[in-house]
Amino acid sequence: DADVTQTPRNRITKTGKRIMLECSQTKGHDRMYWYRQDPGLGLRLIYYSFDVKDINKGEISDGYSVSRQAQAKFSLSLESAIPNQTALYFCATSGTTGGGNQPQHFGDGTRLSIL
Amino acid sequence: AQKITQTQPGMFVQEKEAVTLDCTYDTSDPSYGLFWYKQPSSGEMIFLIYQGSYDQQNATEGRYSLNFQKARKSANLVISASQLGDSAMYFCAMREGYYQKVTFGTGTKLQVIP
C-alpha cells in the first residue's frame, strides 16, 4: 500500500462545482502539504500544515481551503471550481526527525479537469 | 526573485554518457536544504538526493551526485552513465526558513537517446 494516498486519482467536473481532494498517510508524519503542478511552472505550494492545529497559506491559496482532520488526513477543497484550477495536484508529507534532510514524500497526484 | 532557478527547460544526452542539470538558488537563511526529484511520464515524484547547507561533502546516491557550490549558490545534479529510464522531468527544490517551506524550480526535461 502507498504511504501517501490521494483520492480521487482523476476528476473531471464543471465550473462552479465544489470539489474535495483527499490525502491520507501512514508514515506518521506531522507535516503535510498541498501543491499544484502546471506545465512550465513546476510545483507551487497551496497550503501546508505542521500539525492538526497549524495550517498555513502557501503562495497560491486563493480559491482553495484545507482541513486537517487528523494527523494522517489533509483535505483540499475548491469551493467553486474554475477552469484555471485545472492542474495536477500533489499531497506531500515530511517528518521532523533527522533535521532538515528529510525529503517530502509525495502521493501519486490527482489530475483535475474543470470544464 | 526566483528562489530556485533551473535554466534548462530541456536536455538531451546520449545513453551511457554523463549529464549535468543546473540549479541555482537564492536564500538569506544560513540553514537550508537542497533536494532533487525525478518525475517520470507516469507523474509520480521520486526523491533522488539531498544536500544540506552545512554539509562539507557533496552528496552522492548511486549514479546521482550533487555538485554543491555554496558561494555560487548552485546545486547541480550530475547523472553518470545515463540510462533510457532516466528520461524524465527533474526538479530542484530548496527547504528554508522557520517553517521549512519547500520551493521547487520549474524543472528540466531530460531525454536519453539510445
Beta strand extents in B1-114 (DSSP E only): 4-5, 10-14, 19-21, 24-25, 32-39, 46-52, 60-61, 64-69, 74-79, 88-96, 101-104, 108-113
| Cross-strand bridge partners of residue A23 | A6
Predicted pLDDT of residue A103:
82
d(CA B101, CA B99): 5
The partner residue sitting opposite A108, judged by closest CB among B4, B43, B105, is: B43
Query: Is residue A104 very low, low, confident or very high in pLDDT (cuts 50, 70, 90)?
Result: confident
Contact across the interface for B107 and A101, Cβ inside 8 Å: no
Predicted pLDDT of residue A41:
78
Chain B residues lying within 8 Å of A90, measured CB to CB: 45
Contact across the interface for A41 and B106, Cβ inside 8 Å: yes
Predicted pLDDT of residue B35:
95
Dihedral sign computed on CA atoms, order A63, A54, B39, B73: positive
Closest to A76 in 3D by CA, of A114, A45, A41, A115: A45
- As a whole number of angstroms, the longest Cα–Cα distance in chain B is 45
Predicted pLDDT of residue B96:
86
Q: What is the arithmetic mean of pLDDT over A7-27?
A: 96
Q: Which uninterrupted H or E stretch holds B35? A: strand B32-39
Query: Is residue B72 very low, low, confident or very high in pLDDT (cuts 50, 70, 90)?
Result: very high
Query: Is residue A100 very low, low, confident or very high in pLDDT (cuts 50, 70, 90)?
Result: low
Q: Does residue A39 sit at the B interface (CB-CB below 8 Å)? A: no
Q: What is the arithmetic mean of pLDDT over B33-47?
A: 93
Predicted pLDDT of residue A1:
55
Predicted pLDDT of residue B112:
98
Q: Radius of gyration over alpha carbons of chain B, in Å?
A: 14
Which residues 1-30 of A are in CB contact (within 8 Å) with B? none
The partner residue sitting opposite A48, judged by closest CB among B31, B44, B101, is: B101
Chain A residues lying within 8 Å of B105, measured CB to CB: 42
Query: Is residue A89 very low, low, confident or very high in pLDDT (cuts 50, 70, 90)?
Result: very high
- A79, A21 contact by CB (below 8 A): no
d(CA A30, CA A50): 6
Closest to B19 in 3D by CA, of B93, B73, B84: B84
Q: What is the arithmetic mean of pLDDT over B55-64?
A: 94
Query: Is residue B92 very low, low, confident or very high in pLDDT (cuts 50, 70, 90)?
Result: very high
Q: Does residue B107 sit at the A interface (CB-CB below 8 Å)? A: yes
Cell readout for B108 is 528540466
- A107, A24 contact by CB (below 8 A): no
- In B1-33, which positions are buried (b, 16+ CB within 10 angstroms) versus exposed (e)? eebbbbebeeeebeeeeebebbbbbebeeeebb
Whether pLDDT at A102 is above 80: no
Contact across the interface for B31 and A103, Cβ inside 8 Å: no
Of all residues in chain A, the percent with pLDDT exceeding 70 is 94
The partner residue sitting opposite A100, judged by closest CB among B52, B91, B93, is: B52
Please tell me what DSSP assigns to residue B53. Answer: T
Contact across the interface for B47 and A42, Cβ inside 8 Å: no
Q: Which amino acid is at B80?
A: S
Chain B residues lying within 8 Å of A33, measured CB to CB: 102
Dihedral sign computed on CA atoms, order B10, A109, A34, B100: negative
Which residues 48-77 of B are in CB contact (within 8 Å) with A? 50, 52
d(CA A49, CA A47): 7
pLDDT digit string, tens, across residues A26-73:
999 889 999 999 987 789 999 999 889 999 999 899 999 999 999 999
Predicted pLDDT of residue B1:
63
